[in-house]
């Protein structure tokens, strides 16, 4: 008999199924269909057998004790199963915790969902789904031609033929503690058959994941791109970053990285977060007993952040009310100033905002005052040339004082007697002198000592308690000019923050967050002396940030290019969509989150902040809290 000979049989006539029974000796479909016909839910569990009849046609007393409600009406998603072992271990790989999911609940199950399992004494195991699988319900071979042909004739999937198992990762035990909830490490195994439920209580979810109740809002908890819903109002779970000293230092001063590719929504997300730090109710205790608000200085390569001065015209009244109910700061920030670097042949348009504009220039004296010799050297000075530059700068400022300008320095270097003197004394070789001169002359004209107020005289404008200062560089013609401006101003801020004898008491005594977009352009690893000096400065700033109330807020689409010495000081990583494997690997987030990053939609993010919570997936606000875009 050939396979074609089976075509005359139909399921209705029993032909194909009977042939299967004859061929294999085990009529799997008949057995399962028989149970399904008699059972209520058809998920293959013993409960489904309550209506199975005995040989005499009467109800089998063995199943009479089971009283099964229709599928979907059960409390919970399923039960803890011991069929494949049940074990909690100190070693994660040795833990075996699985739940059998009933048929009516299977479509709602997703990887990453948060579940709770009760213990007899009222404690609850908080866990996360890490794997899903179908397992054989009956001892049969479903890899046969006849079985496949029968399945292909069906209009729907015969799910009752399989067990659906969810593998769980225990995350914590949640328990009542003097009227509130607390968590501890997993130290108990749940009982076999314990009902498994989806976590649906806001307080329990936050406790299970160690999410603070108060702090800086980042987004709403999600799984697979869908917000986690609870029975509370609002039904979403807000995720916040610790921002007080009750449980350690505010995480703003332990630094933040926002990483995302083009179009991922990183600027939108960054604006939303920075706006929270500018909330009037957010203050930080200072050593002198004052409560001071955060000052934010944001370096802006695309002229987008000064828009934070303005309200978002796309925000409607209902969205604003929802933000207010959830304690999310929103609306334009009136105390926003655009500090615009002025250089020849470059005009700042500033058409996208109504913030006040103040022009400034970089005085050449900063090179000496803030110990930034690398600012005039460009790149490429070797270990011999850099000390020569120091010698020349020290000699110059000794002669001219802090009033010395860049043009005067060039004239100073043009003196042939100086070159001859230094060469004959053995302090600077003639060829080294000439190499340094070429580098110094490579500085773009007009970047120093322009026709505007020196930034060193604008410290009270640059740093204001509760104020946002935006330094746009989009209008500057060359990347070298942008680099000089960003590094000069940021190093001035860091220098006064870390100094025991600061030139600006305002900078020293104000909580400060330095936001740096395209951070990879300024804080990248390099082999030259200047780059190492820059990195040393910012690495020290990152290390001392907690003590000095200084935070770095780094934004980049190329996190793999940010120097490791700075990167490893970052505690909070906010990762949006990244398509580059090296970029994803560099942010060093847990593998379960890293695998989702390439598939994240705009606004979705993975947050890894070990000192704040368990690693989580979030959805940011779809409406920017301030103006954003054209």
Cβ distance 379 to 526 under 8 Å? yes
Query: How many Å apart are CA 625 and CA 3, to the nearest integer?
Result: 66
Total H helices, total E strands in the chain: 18, 23
CA 133 to chain centre: 29
Query: What pTM, to 2 d.p., does this model score?
Result: 0.85
Say which DSSP state 214 is in.
S
Query: How many Å apart are CA 189 and CA 191, to the nearest integer?
Result: 7
Q: What is the pLDDT of residue 350?
A: 87
Location of structure tokens 């640059």: 462
| Structure tokens that stand for 232 in this block | 């509370």
Residues sharing a CB contact under 8 Å with residue 480, sequence separation 6 or more, in sequence order:
378, 442, 443, 444, 447
Q: What is the pLDDT of residue 378?
A: 66
DSSP bridge pairs for 572: 256
| Structure tokens that stand for 147 in this block | 């079985």
Q: What is the pLDDT of residue 442?
A: 86
Nearest to 569 by CA among 597, 611, 607: 611
**Distance between the two ends of the chain, CA-based, in angstroms?**
73
Q: What is the pLDDT of residue 157?
A: 63
CA 177 to chain centre: 31
Query: How many Å apart are CA 570 and CA 595, to the nearest integer?
Result: 21
Nearest to 449 by CA among 483, 488, 423: 488
Per domain, the residue ranges of the chain are 78-210, 253-365+446-570, 379-440
Instruction: Return the exposure string of 454-490: e unless at least 16 CB atoms fall within 10 Å of the residue's CB, then b.
Output: bbbebbebbbbbbbbbbbbbebbeeeebbbbbbbbbb
Cβ distance 604 to 288 under 8 Å? no
Cβ distance 625 to 330 under 8 Å? yes
Radius of gyration of the chain (CA): 33
Q: What is the pLDDT of residue 299?
A: 97
Query: How many Å apart are CA 227 and CA 136, to the nearest integer?
Result: 33
Which CATH number fits the domain 253-365+446-570, given the four candidates 3.40.50.2000, 3.40.50.300, 3.40.50.720, 3.30.1490.20?
Answer: 3.40.50.300
Say which DSSP state 322 is in.
H
Say which DSSP state 447 is in.
S
| Structure tokens that stand for 55 in this block | 């040989």
Which backbone phi and psi does 216 adopt, to 5 degrees? Answer: -85, 125
- How many residues are given for the chain? 630
What pLDDT, in 10s, does the model give residues 109-162? 999 999 999 999 999 999 999 999 998 777 677 788 887 887 788 776 667 678
Nearest to 294 by CA among 458, 461, 455, 463: 463
Cβ distance 254 to 541 under 8 Å? no
**Under-50 pLDDT residues of the chain:** 1-68, 71-72
Helix (H, G, I), strand (E, B) or coil at 238: strand
Location of structure tokens 């609306």: 331
| Structure tokens that stand for 200 in this block | 């649906």
Nearest to 296 by CA among 570, 485, 550, 628: 550
Q: Within 10 A of 227 (CB to CB), how many other CB atoms are there? A: 15
DSSP bridge pairs for 128: 114, 169
């Amino acid at each position: 008999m050939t396979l074609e000979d089976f075509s005359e049989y139909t399921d209705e006539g029993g032909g194909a199924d009977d042939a299967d029974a004859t061929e294999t000796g085990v009529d799997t479909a008949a057995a399962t269909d028989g149970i399904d016909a008699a059972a209520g839910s058809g998920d293959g569990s013993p409960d489904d057998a309550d209506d199975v009849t005995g040989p005499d046609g009467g109800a089998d007393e063995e199943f009479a004790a089971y009283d099964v409600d229709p599928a979907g009406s059960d409390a919970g998603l399923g039960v803890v199963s011991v069929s494949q072992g049940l074990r909690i271990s100190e070693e994660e790989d040795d833990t075996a915790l699985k739940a059998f999911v009933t048929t009516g609940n299977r479509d709602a199950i997703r990887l990453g969902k948060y579940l709770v399992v009760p213990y007899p004494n009222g404690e609850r195991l908080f866990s996360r789904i890490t794997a899903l699988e179908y397992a054989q319900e009956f001892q049969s071979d479903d890899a046969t031609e006849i079985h496949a042909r029968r399945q292909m004739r069906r209009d729907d999937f015969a799910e009752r033929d399989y067990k659906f198992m969810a593998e769980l990762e225990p995350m914590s035990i949640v328990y009542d503690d003097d009227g509130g909830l607390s968590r501890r490490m997993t130290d108990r195994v749940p009982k076999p058959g314990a009902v498994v439920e989806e976590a649906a209580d806001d307080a329990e979810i936050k406790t299970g994941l160690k999410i603070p109740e108060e702090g800086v809002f980042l987004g709403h908890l999600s799984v697979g791109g869908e917000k986690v819903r609870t029975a509370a109002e609002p039904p979403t779970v807000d995720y916040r970053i610790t921002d007080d000293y009750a449980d350690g230092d505010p995480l703003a001063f332990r630094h933040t990285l926002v990483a995302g590719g083009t179009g991922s929504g990183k600027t939108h997300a960054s604006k939303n977060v920075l706006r929270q730090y500018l909330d009037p109710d957010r203050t930080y205790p200072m050593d002198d007993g004052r409560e001071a608000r955060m000052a934010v200085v944001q370096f802006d390569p695309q002229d987008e952040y000064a828009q934070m001065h303005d309200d978002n015209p796309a925000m409607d009244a209902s969205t604003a009310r929802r933000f207010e109910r959830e304690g999310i700061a929103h609306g334009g920030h009136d105390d926003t100033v655009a500090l615009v670097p002025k250089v020849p042949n470059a005009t700042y348009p500033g058409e996208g905002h109504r913030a006040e504009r103040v022009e400034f220039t970089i005085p050449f004296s900063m090179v000496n005052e803030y110990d930034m010799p690398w600012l005039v050297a460009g790149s490429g000075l070797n270990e011999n040339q850099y000390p020569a530059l120091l010698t020349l700068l020290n000699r110059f400022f000794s002669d001219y004082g802090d009033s010395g300008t860049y043009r005067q320095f060039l004239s100073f270097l043009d003196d042939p007697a100086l070159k001859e003197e230094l060469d004959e004394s053995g302090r600077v070789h003639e060829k080294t002198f000439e190499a340094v001169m070429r580098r110094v002359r490579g500085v773009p004209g007009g970047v120093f000592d322009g026709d505007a107020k020196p930034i060193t005289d604008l410290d009270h404008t640059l740093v204001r308690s509760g104020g946002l200062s935006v330094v746009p560089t989009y209008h500057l013609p060359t990347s070298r000019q942008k680099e000089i401006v960003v590094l000069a101003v940021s190093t001035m801020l860091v220098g006064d923050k870390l100094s025991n004898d600061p030139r600006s008491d305002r900078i020293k005594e104000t909580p400060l967050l330095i936001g740096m977009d395209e951070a990879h352009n300024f804080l990248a690893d390099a082999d030259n002396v200047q780059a190492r000096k820059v990195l040393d400065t910012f690495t020290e700033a990152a290390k001392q940030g907690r003590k000095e109330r200084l935070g770095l807020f780094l934004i980049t689409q190329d996190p793999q290019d940010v120097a490791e010495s700075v990167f490893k000081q970052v505690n909070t990583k906010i990762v949006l969509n990244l398509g580059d494997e090296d970029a994803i690997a560099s942010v060093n987030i847990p593998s379960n989150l890293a695998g989702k990053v390439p598939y994240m939609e705009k606004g979705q993010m993975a947050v890894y902040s070990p000192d704040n919570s368990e690693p989580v997936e979030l959805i940011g606000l779809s409406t920017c809290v301030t103006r954003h875009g054209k």
